């Protein structure tokens, strides 16, 4: 087994292309990418399975806080497509529950499943779907005197 930390050799997936220019949301999205990058480091390790459980726990915490924040802002800002957005959050939460169950059954392809799902999430949801609420939330934040940066 390689005992050196390979995490510094993994290219970080977060970049400014994912910024929505809504500070609190951007910070939370960056945390999601940190978790994704952590999973990528596991692909370089022979023994990693026990390391998955803390990431699943962090994903559970992340989704609770992030989705509550995002949905509250969207509701207050009367953002478009609000109901469909909530459905996507529900689907994500269900997927994290499935990861927890798969972990308990020692699913041998769980790491690959997590990486694949999370990659699709940031490529579609964060990059595209979240972009649909940016204007309404930025307008709301300006109108209410909240800092968007």
Taking only the tens place, the pLDDT of each residue in 41-70 is 998 888 888 999 999 999 999 999 999 999
Total number of domains in the chain: 1
Which residue segment(s) compose the domain that 93 sits in? 19-143
Cα–Cα distance, 97 to 111 (Å, whole number): 14
Q: Is residue 74 part of a domain?
A: yes
Would 80 be classed as within a structural domain? yes
Position 143 pLDDT exceeds 80? yes
The CATH number of the domain where 92 resides is what?
Answer: 1.20.120.50
For the chain, the average pLDDT equals 88
Give the C-alpha separation, 8 to 66, whole Å.
Answer: 27
Q: Whole-angstrom Cα distance, residue 72 to residue 137?
A: 10
Torsion over CA: 126, 129, 135, 141 (sign): negative
Task: Examine the pLDDT at 111 and tell me if it is beyond 60.
Answer: yes
pLDDT at 117: 96
Closest CA to 33 of 97, 101, 119, 107: 119
Structure confidence at residue 1 (pLDDT): 34
Count the neighbouring beta carbons within 10 Å of the beta carbon of residue 76: 14
The confidence score (pLDDT) of residue 127 equals: 85
| Residue at 13 is within a domain | no
For residue 11, pLDDT beyond 70: no
């Amino acid at each position: 087994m390689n005992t050196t930390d390979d995490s510094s050799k993994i290219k970080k997936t977060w970049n400014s292309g994912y910024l929505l220019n809504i500070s609190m949301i951007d910070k939370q999205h960056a945390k999601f990418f940190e978790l994704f990058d952590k999973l990528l480091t596991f692909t370089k390790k022979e023994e990693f399975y026990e390391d998955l459980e803390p990431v699943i726990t962090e994903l559970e915490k992340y989704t609770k806080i992030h989705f509550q924040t995002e949905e509250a802002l969207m509701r207050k800002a009367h953002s478009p497509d609000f109901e469909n957005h909530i459905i996507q959050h529900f689907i994500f939460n269900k997927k994290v529950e499935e990861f927890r169950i798969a972990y308990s059954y020692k699913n041998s392809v769980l790491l690959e499943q997590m990486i694949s799902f999370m990659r699709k999430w940031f490529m579609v949801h964060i990059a595209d779907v979240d972009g649909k609420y940016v204007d309404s939330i930025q307008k709301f934040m300006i109108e209410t005197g909240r800092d968007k940066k």
